[in-house]
Amino acid sequence: MKIATLNINGINRRLGNLRAWLDVAKPDVVCLQEIKCRNAEFPHRALQTMGYSAICHGQGPHHGVAVLCRGTEPIETRRCLPNGADDREARYIEAAVNGILIGCLYLPNGNPQPGPKFEYKLRWFERLIAYAAELRDLAVPAVLAGDYNVVPTDADIYAVRSWRTNALLQPEPREAYARLLSQGWTDAIRSQHPTEPMYTFWHYLRDAWRRDAGMRLDHLLLSTGVAARLRGSGVDREIRGAEDASDHAPAWVTID
């Protein structure tokens, strides 16, 4: 089973880009972030013509997440993290697919920092860590995939200097990410590519794509049982170079 994650940055605007990638990559499951549409505007019919069924948690012009499945229907199991009764931002959706729990997440950016947005990022991260511990304790075969909005280490970014004060590189979210891994989750991309940059994001500004001034923001974390079945992983970086592309590229894993 091939599982991918992509911050699409507006699914209706980039439906053609998505179709072109799906036709070539043929992932079985796709976690999308920043779909940027309400549930009623989500392109279910168009996706069905591409061979994909979907569940979505939309929110108008911002945020929003979805899980796409090829050849089977995703069974929705959750659409927010626990203790999120007051959530106003669509950042999590979860589905059971072929015996694996797929959690699709879009962690808050946190800028500007310090400030309320950064504090919200950290609170949301703590909720994710707590829920991930529950999944671990229950030995649930799971993949937590999405845009984590954290650059785990300095090796995951082209240069630190101009980003040093950005929320993506602050010690607190980096420590939270490391704490999540310490529960026993495997960072699939980094585990198989320990020294390569494996960037998944290139800013639209300052000619970042041409300069390969990227960073690794999109991660697929595998539970212990799923990690034992990991057979491949990568980033389809060439998708970022297409016309009117998202500023992210898809990251993916293959699981026996």
Q: What is the pLDDT of residue 54?
A: 98
Tally Cβ neighbours within 10 Å of residue 153: 13
Backbone phi and psi for residue 51, each to the nearest 5 degrees, phi listed first = 95, 15
- Mean pLDDT taken over the chain: 97
Domains along the chain? 2-255 (3.60.10.10)
Q: What is the pLDDT of residue 234?
A: 98
Tell me: the pLDDT tens digits for 88-100? 899 999 999 999 9
Q: What is the pLDDT of residue 85?
A: 72
Determine if the peptide bond prior to 27 is cis (ω within 30°).
no
Q: What is the pLDDT of residue 87?
A: 84
| Ranges under pLDDT 70 in the chain | none
d(Cα 42, Cα 36) in Å, to the nearest integer? Answer: 9
Tell me: the pLDDT tens digits for 47-61? 999 999 999 999 989
Q: What is the pLDDT of residue 203?
A: 97
Tell me: the pLDDT tens digits for 176-212? 999 999 999 999 999 999 999 999 999 999 999 999 9
Q: What is the pLDDT of residue 250?
A: 98
Q: What is the pLDDT of residue 63?
A: 97
